[in-house]
């Protein structure tokens, strides 16, 4: 019998506390406008479907936003408590399948949630800053041996070429997947 048959964990979690948790992490100094960054915001009622989701209005740019606007948690049909629990289970190193069982969700839904949460957390990681003396190893890439096609063919066959291609693809991925705001 799965634990989820005995205890519906999601049903025991308090929605109000989940939203309070998000607010506390997102705006430890008080809410500010995600559009213009102003701290001059006023509370402006609650979400119609989720009564614990606070809405705000920015006095500087007249923009409207709520607790989840601009986060990976916005615009999903799963309640916030499912996301909070999902994040908690990820911290316990549970597999997507186990998380799906615990939350009573589809495994493909769970997969999408864990991917989004990982992306969201990675985007928060500050860019690496190099200080002091920085040393870089020299890299020499052999493009080919002019006039020695046999040697080139031998190299490609040995797998060295494939390894280099994989490293080049990985480097390109790192370059292009970096958030543009960083």
Q: For residues 9 and 35, which CB has a smaller minimum distance to Zn ion in the complex?
A: 35
Smallest distance, Zn ion to C-beta of residue 182, A: 22
- Between helices 80-91 and 96-103, what is the axis angle to 10°? 140
- DSSP 3-state of 93: coil
Smallest distance, Zn ion to C-beta of residue 33, A: 3
Among 63, 79, 104, 161, binds Zn ion (CB under 5 A): 63
Q: For residues 40 and 171, which CB has a smaller minimum distance to Zn ion in the complex?
A: 40
Q: For residues 52 and 60, which CB has a smaller minimum distance to Zn ion in the complex?
A: 60
What's the rounded Cα separation, in Å, for the pair 8 and 172?
A: 44
What's the rounded Cα separation, in Å, for the pair 41 and 99?
A: 37
Q: Max Cα separation, the chain?
A: 75
Residue 171 binds Zn ion, judged by CB under 5 A:
no
Among 9, 35, 72, 87, binds Zn ion (CB under 5 A): 35
Residue 61 binds Zn ion, judged by CB under 5 A:
yes
Cβ atoms < 10 Å from Cβ of 121: 12
Name the token pair of 32: 């500010």
Name the token pair of 164: 């280099």
Smallest distance, Zn ion to C-beta of residue 47, A: 19
Give residues 117-136 in contact with Zn ion (rule: CB under 5 A): none
Smallest distance, Zn ion to C-beta of residue 165, A: 47
Smallest distance, Zn ion to C-beta of residue 76, A: 24
Do residues 161 and 151 touch, judged by C-beta distance below 8 A? no
Do residues 9 and 85 touch, judged by C-beta distance below 8 A? yes
Contacting positions for Zn ion (CB under 5 A): 33, 35-36, 38, 58, 60-61, 63
């Amino acid at each position: 019998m799965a634990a989820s048959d005995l205890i519906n964990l999601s049903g025991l979690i308090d929605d109000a506390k989940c939203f309070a948790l998000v607010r506390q992490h997102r705006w430890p100094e008080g809410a500010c406008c995600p559009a213009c960054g102003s701290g001059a915001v006023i509370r402006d009622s609650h979400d119609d479907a989720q009564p614990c989701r606070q809405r705000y209005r920015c006095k500087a740019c007249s923009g409207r936003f709520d607790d989840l606007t601009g986060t990976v948690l916005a615009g999903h049909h799963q309640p916030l408590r499912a996301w909070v629990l999902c994040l908690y289970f990820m911290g316990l190193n549970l597999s997507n399948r186990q998380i799906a069982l615990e939350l009573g969700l589809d495994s493909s839904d769970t997969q999408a949630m864990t991917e989004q949460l990982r992306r969201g957390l990675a985007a928060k990681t500050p860019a690496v800053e190099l200080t002091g003396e920085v040393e870089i190893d020299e890299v020499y890439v052999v493009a080919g041996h002019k006039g020695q096609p046999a040697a080139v063919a031998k190299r490609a066959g040995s797998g060295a070429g494939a390894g280099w291609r994989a490293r080049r693809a990985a480097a390109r991925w790192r370059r292009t997947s970096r958030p543009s705001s960083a």
